[in-house]
Amino acid sequence: MNGMETRIDRFPGRVLRVRTVVVGSGAAGLSAALALARSDRQDRQRQRGREPDGLLVVTEGMNMGTSRNTGSDKQTYYKQATGARSADCAYDMARDYFACGSMHGDLALTEALGSLKGFFRLVALGVPFPSDRYGEYTGYRTDHDEKSRAASAGPLTSRYMTEALERACRGEGVRFFDGCRVIRLLTRGGAAAGIVGMAEREITPENPAGLVAVLAGAVVWAAGGPSALYHNSVYPESQTCALGAPLLAGAEASNLTESQYGIASLAFRWNLSGSYQQVLPRYVSADENGIEREFLPDAFENEKDALAAQFAKGYEWPFDPSKVGMGRGSRSSEVDLAVWRETQAGRRVFLDFRENPRAVARDGLTPETVGETAYRYLVSSRALGETPVKRLRQMNEKAYRLYLSHGIDLEREPLEIGVCAQHMNGGLSCGIWYESPTLKRFYPVGECAGVFGIKRPGGSALNSTQVGSMRAAEKIAHDGAEPPEADAEISAQLAACAAFAAQLDPAFASVSASVSGADALDTRAVLRLREEGGRKHDRCAAFLRDREGIEALLCETREEFKRFDALRAKDFCALKELAINRDVLVTRFAVLSSILAYLDDGGASRGSYLVRGREELDSAHAGFVLETALSEKDGALTAACRMTPVRPVPETDNWFENVLNEYASDARFSMREGNGVDDGRD
């Protein structure tokens, strides 16, 4: 970073200048960095006399975040089918995306068309997606998928992706600023202009808050989903929330109502999908005295129905209100509700792989006991062992060893579980080049991008990390990205960051400052505040939603944000956690405001949540995307929400000569989304 530093009045930290800053080091951020680095290298080769200002990846921690730390029995990458006998095309895939509801058709087509490019780039980088002796990359069925488009490198697919991408980035000389928490997105003239972060290594007597600024001509935001909204979460604990800063900077959001929830383990956070369910472990709960009972059969009319629902939960993992109740086909999501009811009764819930469910223990593993579908699957998988854990090891040894590597032996102990938040389908709005429509030069990619709608196929999130990041990098390389000068607009924002830190940090302010008579907060106290907020959010705004509770929590969140600047932190760590809490509050306000707007428009249960009192399935809103914009003045947050009709899947002009000419003239970068018309923005 030598030669890029400067100082600005009223800002105590260093100021760096780069062409592009990438925030986040997961599968999306590293993919963007690699694509940008390679385009930058080509640019240098073409223009040897021009020295670029560079690329910088800013990350809170290289080994933090969802991509490095989450997965399932065989974590899925969703792509256009590549099996030798598969009949599939990108338009079919796009239409399947679009049919999930509340997703723009041009984004669906972009995600589909880019899927093979992203997949085979990962293969070339060394991600061990399996192929047979002839080179066939076969697939399997995943959630919301009938074409067997799923691929997997095992339970740790996304980790392998990040490791391969990081190796490639370092090979290209990409620079990393590790250990920096971004707290503000800088803007100038309606465009992103850089970021401000906090880094412990930046602490000096003059800068006890460790502030550092990066001025950039383009910002790629790859900071993941808002995991800290929730208490019951399968996100890694190191993953928190980073949507608040862009929302306050003017980046609009889409479909913040839509998240995904499902059954996961608690002590070690992991999705319990696929073979974890298909080998049919026992669902048991225990009271405060440790007395156990197998409860799942009691939630169904008979034991066979319970086992059929449990097996289906393997490939219908997300909670889905359409899979609840008689007469709706699959009833797999009644498993989630049964788990929730046990926890509401004060009981701890477990999956026990050591013993068979009582029907299997009594009558054996037969088609009559478990159903024809489950039995055929187990036979085909050569997994007819005497116990669930033996079947798991026969079907998927890696899934067993994953827990063993975290000190949990499924052959010796049960696995505590709950219904947990897992993924936000909505996020920050973007177009087909993944640039924000309301904040130029700002590119949300990965989970933080509001690409998806009501539902999404399993593994489509990993596909999106690659497609969105490569598209964003291509657009940035085309447009160019020169770092801005620190004019009055940027200087005022930097000064506000310094003032924000001064309000929170006792090194700047009096240690006697207090809120409600309390002393300055230490890290544990700050984390307790976050945990309390997560529990409140879970009670009314997770997979079961209650309008009255949401309205009350929204008012509480608004008031808590108003009081936030009065809080004081005892040290740098507490200060950083407070900054995260502020981001969570902003995000919670946006999410709750979006849910209320949806409910006020007559919305009911859909996607991955049930609305109490509106259990009927909503169909009226599938043709709309809910867009949300935030503003803040004098500590008061306001939200503006509107329903926007979805753009259809485009009918493209794929006549080769026309595409060739459009490509040569770079006209593709200035076409309006959805209809191929120049929108004048470029």
pLDDT higher than threshold 60 for residue 19 = yes
**What contacts 409, CB < 8 A, 6 or more positions away?**
403
pLDDT higher than threshold 80 for residue 664 = yes
Give the model's pLDDT for residue 280.
Answer: 98
In this prediction the pTM is 0.93
Give the model's pLDDT for residue 50.
Answer: 43
Domains annotated on the chain, with CATH: 8-259+422-488 (3.50.50.60), 261-421 (no CATH), 511-645 (1.20.58.100), 657-682 (no CATH)
Give the model's pLDDT for residue 677.
Answer: 37
pLDDT higher than threshold 60 for residue 46 = no
Q: How far apart (Å, rounded) are the C-alpha atoms in residues 84 and 80?
A: 12
Q: Tens digit of pLDDT for each residue in 68-99?
A: 988 888 899 999 999 888 889 999 999 999 99
**What contacts 197, CB < 8 A, 6 or more positions away?**
58, 177, 180, 181, 182, 183, 211, 212, 213, 214
pLDDT higher than threshold 50 for residue 113 = yes
DSSP 592-642: HHHHHHHHHTT--BBTTBEETTB-SBP-TTTTEEEEEEEEEETTEEEEEEE
Give the model's pLDDT for residue 588.
Answer: 98
Between 371 and 504, residue with greater pLDDT = 371
CB 438 within 8 A of CB 250: yes
pLDDT higher than threshold 60 for residue 334 = yes
Q: Tens digit of pLDDT for each residue in 250-306?
A: 999 999 999 999 999 999 999 999 999 999 999 999 999 999 999 999 999 999 999
pLDDT class of 680 with cuts at 50, 70, 90: very low
Shortest CA distance to 224 belongs to which of 502, 418, 465, 494?
A: 465
Helix axes 27-46, 157-171, angle to 10 degrees: 20
pLDDT class of 65 with cuts at 50, 70, 90: confident
Residue range 646-667: average pLDDT?
90
The single residue listed with the structure tokens 């002839």 is 134
Q: Alpha carbon of 478 to those of 113, 149, 260, 462: distances in Å?
A: 20, 32, 35, 25
pLDDT higher than threshold 90 for residue 392 = yes
Residue range 359-378: average pLDDT?
95
Strand partners, 77: 151
Q: How far apart (Å, rounded) are the C-alpha atoms in residues 441 and 444?
A: 10
pLDDT class of 486 with cuts at 50, 70, 90: confident
Mean pLDDT of the chain: 91
pLDDT higher than threshold 50 for residue 513 = no
Strand partners, 20: 55, 218
pLDDT class of 517 with cuts at 50, 70, 90: very low
Give the model's pLDDT for residue 666.
Answer: 86
Give the model's pLDDT for residue 673.
Answer: 56
Q: Which of 121-130's residues contact partners 24+ apart within 8 Å by CB, and which partners?
A: 121/466, 121/470, 122/77, 122/161, 122/164, 122/466, 125/164, 125/165, 125/167, 125/168, 126/164, 126/167, 127/153, 127/157, 127/160, 127/161, 127/164, 128/153, 128/154, 128/160, 129/77, 129/153
Q: Tens digit of pLDDT for each residue in 559-591?
A: 999 999 888 899 999 999 999 999 999 999 999
Residue range 199-210: average pLDDT?
93
User: Which DSSP state fits 117?
Assistant: H
Q: How far apart (Å, rounded) are the C-alpha atoms in residues 42 and 589?
A: 44
pLDDT higher than threshold 80 for residue 48 = no
Question: Quick one: what percent of the chain has pLDDT higher than 90?
Answer: 81
Between 344 and 499, residue with greater pLDDT = 344
CB 332 within 8 A of CB 316: yes
Q: Which amino acid is residue 291, in one-letter code?
A: I
The 3-state DSSP class for residue 187 equals: strand
Shortest CA distance to 626 belongs to which of 587, 589, 591, 673?
A: 591
Count of positions (residues) in the chain:
682
